Amino acid sequence: MDYMKQAEQVIMKTYNRFPVVFEKGKGVYLYDTEGKKYLDFAAGIAVFALGYGNEAYNQALKDQIDKIIHTSNLYYNIPAIEAATKIVKTTGMDKVFFTNSGTEAIEGALKVARKYAYLKEEREDYEFIAMYHSFHGRSQGALAVTGNEKYQKGFVPEGCRAVFAQFNDLEDVLSKVNEKTCGIICEVVQGEGGIYPAKKEFLEGLRKICDEKDLVLIFDEVQCGMGRCGSLYAHELYGVKPDVLALAKALGCGVPVGAFVANERTSHALVPGDHGTTYGGNPFATAAVSKVFDLYEELHIVEHVNEVGAYLKEELKKLVSEYDCIKENRGIGLMQGLEFDCPVGPIINKALSMGLVIISAGANIIRFVPPLVIEKEHVDEMISILKNAIENH
């Protein structure tokens, strides 16, 4: 209790936090300061894919700490080279820039698109087409393409906002393309907006528009990427490639790191002096990234997500038919949502008190983004607590 009181005194009040202090984790369970155990179906918001306390991951970080943590980008470092090589190899794209967060990955991706357009025609009034109900981060650039008035209000001047189109509505996007458009940005599966997967025709259509008009297509896979949807990158499921891909969340499995990855067409746009970061891609963060890729392979994470994700979906679909208050299930792999006909806050609070960590994505939607190493028995345990919370909240 004292910790919470102290936190409110010294930490800026930008969150209404749940009344719990997590102190440690093991596997897919978290423990609070009172020693109470929680099943974790949030993974620190889709971050901790490998679960807590993976020994090989922890050891790689410890080893790197003993070697060197930080050098700056003025010099080469081995973990960054290794991590970037793994990203290039698995994406089939050309060049990587490491950032410290998803927001910064988006900022960089937007800069690539602006610069790409600028190199063709030296104007500065470029516009992005972004999607309603999208989420791309909280910096002013990332907010400008975030299609949610709640997040933008008071922070993004009218003239700086992107042009917004309806997600999965190709006609709407097409009607908004003009001579100022430099790029189109969208999540492959909208996360914060309520777990809405893109339709195949939509992504294919965006690719076609961008090819025909020489625009930069940016996919934000900060949340849906890194195996969560049952392929290493969500866009692989659609067979549609972006020009620039933004990654973060599970990329470092807890170490703050993101990346934007550009294909051959766009990777030359940023040149020395155009972009930079002090921490981005430091040896500690990129040692984490590198180990994450190795462990994904060793543990067959993607295959596992397909198996457990299908089971989770089945179980959630059962809930939809069992409870009138649940409207539908949406999602891919281990990125699932349940839409209720009422605000889900009280259910989430009740579940937490019963030892289950779940989060929302919008007022009426419960989001399930567990560690990717979750097993079927954990799904069963989650469903049983969730039912209890729905019936007794």
DSSP states of 133-167? T----SSHHHHHT-B-HHHHTTTS-GGGSPEEE-T
Stretch that binds ligand PLP, among 97-105, 165-173, 264-272, 369-377 (CB under 6 A): 97-105
> Total residues at the site for ligand PLP (CB under 6 A)?
15
DSSP strands (E only) in the chain: 22-26, 29-32, 37-40, 95-99, 127-131, 163-165, 181-187, 189-190, 196-197, 216-220, 244-247, 258-262, 326-332, 335-340, 356-357, 359-360, 365-368
Q: Which of 86, 136, 228, 330 is close enough to bind ligand PLP by CB under 6 A? A: 136
Q: Which of 30, 248, 261, 285 forms a contact with ligand PLP (CB under 6 A)? A: 248
Range in contact with ligand PLP (rule: CB under 6 A) among 80-88, 124-132, 163-171, 218-226 = 218-226
Query: For strand 163-165 and strand 127-131, is the pairing parallel, antiparallel, or unpaired?
Result: parallel
Q: Indicate the DSSP class of residue 27.
A: B
Residue 135 within binding range of ligand PLP, rule CB under 6 A: yes
Judged by CB under 6 A, which stretch of 133-141, 148-156, 196-204, 208-216 contacts ligand PLP?
133-141
CB-CB neighbours of 52 under 10 Å: 23
- With binding defined as CB under 6 A, does residue 288 bind ligand PLP? no
In whole angstroms, what is the distance from residue 277 CA to residue 104 CA?
A: 10
The first and second tokens of residue 100, run together, are: 């410290």
- Indicate whether 107 belongs to the interface with ligand PLP (CB under 6 A): no
As measured in angstroms, the least distance from the Cβ of 154 to ligand PLP is: 19
Examine residue 242 and tell whether it contacts ligand PLP (CB under 6 A). no
Shortest distance (Å) from residue 226 CB to ligand PLP: 11
Q: Which is nearer to ligand PLP, 45 or 174 (CB)?
A: 45
Q: Which residues, 6+ apart, have CB-to-CB distance to 262 below 8 Å?
A: 93, 94, 95, 97, 112, 243, 244, 269, 270
DSSP designation for 188: S
222 binds ligand PLP (CB under 6 A): yes
Strand partners, 218: 185, 244
State the Cα–Cα distance between residues 31 and 41, nearest whole angstrom: 14
Binding of ligand PLP by 191 (CB under 6 A): yes
- Residue 367 CB, shortest distance to ligand PLP, in Å, is 10
Closest to ligand PLP by CB, 127 vs 220, is 220
170 vs 188, beta carbon nearer ligand PLP: 188
Is 259 a binding residue for ligand PLP by CB under 6 A? The answer is: no
By CB under 6 A, which span of 6-14, 17-25, 131-139, 263-271 interacts with ligand PLP?
Answer: 131-139
Nearest residue (CB) to ligand PLP, 29 versus 164: 164
Which H/E stretch holds residue 209? helix 200-213
Are the beta carbons of 250 and 46 closer than 8 angstroms?
yes
Give the x/- contact pattern for ligand PLP in 335-364, rule: CB under 6 A.
------------------------------
Q: Is 220 in the site for ligand PLP (CB under 6 A)?
A: yes
Cβ at position 268, least distance to ligand PLP in Å: 25
In terms of Cβ atoms closer than 10 Å to its own Cβ (0-12, 13-18, 19+), residue 26 is exposed
The single residue among 64, 77, 91, 103 that binds ligand PLP, judged by CB under 6 A, is: 103
d(Cα 131, Cα 7) in Å, to the nearest integer? Answer: 36
Tokens of 211: 């090819």
Cβ proximity of 247 and 235 under 8 Å: no
Binding flag, residue 137, ligand PLP (CB under 6 A): yes
- The binding site for ligand PLP (CB under 6 A) comprises 101-103, 106, 135-137, 187, 191-192, 220, 222-223, 248-249
